[in-house]
Amino acid sequence: DTGVSQDPRHKITKRGQNVTFRCDPISEHNRLYWYRQTLGQGPEFLTYFQNEAQLEKSRLLSDRFSAERPKGSFSTLEIQRTEQGDSAMYLCASSLSGGALGEQFFGPGTRLTVL
Amino acid sequence: SQQGEEDPQALSIQEGENATMNCSYKTSINNLQWYRQNSGRGLVHLILIRSNEREKHSGRLRVTLDTSKKSSSLLITASRAADTASYFCATILTGGGNKLTFGTGTQLKVEL
């Protein structure tokens, strides 16, 4: 499968615990994005990388959230001290700079439930 | 925050009928895209229309864009049960970098 993959697909955790999600983009894509989607809403942008550089962060990304893309390939999103309000689907997408004016390819998402 | 609203929020039709969904947005855009999301899964890109285009076709899909009204519509012709999904419009804002700003979505149900 040469699409965007995310791991894990589901995560249940207790409030206060830390969680980490991984995203593997399409191999030749240099841009990687994280979005969050709550029930009944459209996805909301969190952050994006071009290669290993984090170029933009949303105000939604509180200081409990950190994202990395150390070698410009896979990315991780960590949430520290999780809260019930963090329960959502976390979506990763990738794209090629200069390609198709912004078409992004999405992974299947990681569904987080904070108890 | 969401860029705008989609209308209707939910739509139920019979197989073979056409489905029309509307999207409104608030600020100047570079392009507008439509994505489909099957229940609880990732999004699939359907079609992209540039801000200087008015209409675009792809298979059974027809998209229109009216920048003066800041609105777009997606028409799915001859719908099939497999078209049942949520549909989202998303915009790349002028000067907004590369992030997508999504609408609230339309849930389409196509019944046999």
Residue B46, Ramachandran bin (φ over 0: left; ψ between -120 and 50: alpha; else beta): alpha
Q: Chain B interface, mutation test: which of A45, A87, A113, most B Cβ atoms within 10 Å?
A: A45
Contact by Cβ (8 Å): A75, A95: no
Residue bearing the bigger pLDDT, A62 or B12: B12
A46 CB neighbours in chain B (<8 A) are none
Out of B35, B43, B48, closest to residue A101 by CB: B48
Give the residues across from B73 on adjacent strands.
B22, B64
Residues whose CB falls within 8 Å of the CB of residue B30, separated by 6 or more in sequence, listed in order: A101, A102, B50, B51, B91, B92, B93, B94, B96
Per-residue pLDDT reduced to its tens digit, B10-68: 999 999 999 999 999 988 888 899 999 998 778 999 999 999 999 999 999 999 999 99
Whether A76 has a pLDDT exceeding 90, the answer reads yes
For residue B41, the model assigns a pLDDT of 79
Rounded mean pLDDT, A67-81: 95
